[in-house]
Amino acid sequence: MALNDKGCSDFHISPKLAAAKKASEIVEDGMVIGIGSGTTVELFIKELSKRISHEELELFGVPTSYQSMLLAIEAGIHLLDLLECSELDICIDGADEVDLKLNAIKGGGGALTREKIVAYASREVVFVVEERKVTKILKYPVPIEVLPFSTGYVLKTLSKVMRDYGSSSKPRLRHGTGKLGPVITDNGNFIVDCDFGDIENPKKLEKELSLIPGVVECGIFAGVADRIIVGGEGGNTYELSR
């Protein structure tokens, strides 16, 4: 792991916007971009839109959610899917938490399955976060996308896995605020959130969760990112890299 100070400073912008602006600067004309989801990515797309307008860039994108798709269309990014382009130049995405080894937990917005597919389909993966999301050991609750049919079995199995990892918490089926009932992903599935406490071995837990029948994908992204752009106070940014 290397920490690189990039020397960007603007006291009038937030850490999240500073990181998003820095990410927009690494995109080059003609690139095919994997576009993640979430509030940081929303800022990234808006910053990229300015470059598209001012520099007359032609960019292509594979969005991971309806939110990102609508924002990309508005920004002037030409949409593709993985049938048209199976390998992307770069993936830009946010994260709920990252550690110093570039592991991450994602899925707060419920798009974790498509985000993981797009990340693995990209030549380079860049996560963009605020400094407060950087930690030595991952501990953020892990989102898990689950087939509705399997929910009862998966909740029971996840309870056992959590006990094995020393957690006294229980898996929680995520409910939305805009409608009654569980959150439904863009794939038509449920989200279960699991608090494992400190995650000492993200790769091991990621594999264990993914092997549970009925689990579509989990929100641990172990060893996926090539670098992480971090926005700090005063508009400063720096990078974590391998």
Q: Which are the contacts of 22, defined by CB distance < 8 A and separation ≥ 6?
A: 6, 8, 128, 229, 231, 237
Whole-angstrom Cα distance, residue 47 to residue 66? 19
DSSP character for 11? T
If one counts every other C-beta atom within 10 angstroms of the C-beta of residue 65, the result is 20
- Token pair listed for 161: 């896995």
Q: Which residues are catalytic?
A: 115
- 111 alpha carbon, distance to own chain's centre: 8
If one counts every other C-beta atom within 10 angstroms of the C-beta of residue 89, the result is 17
* Amino acid in the structure at residue 125: V
Whole-angstrom Cα distance, residue 116 to residue 185? 14
Q: Which are the contacts of 51, defined by CB distance < 8 A and separation ≥ 6?
A: 24, 27, 57
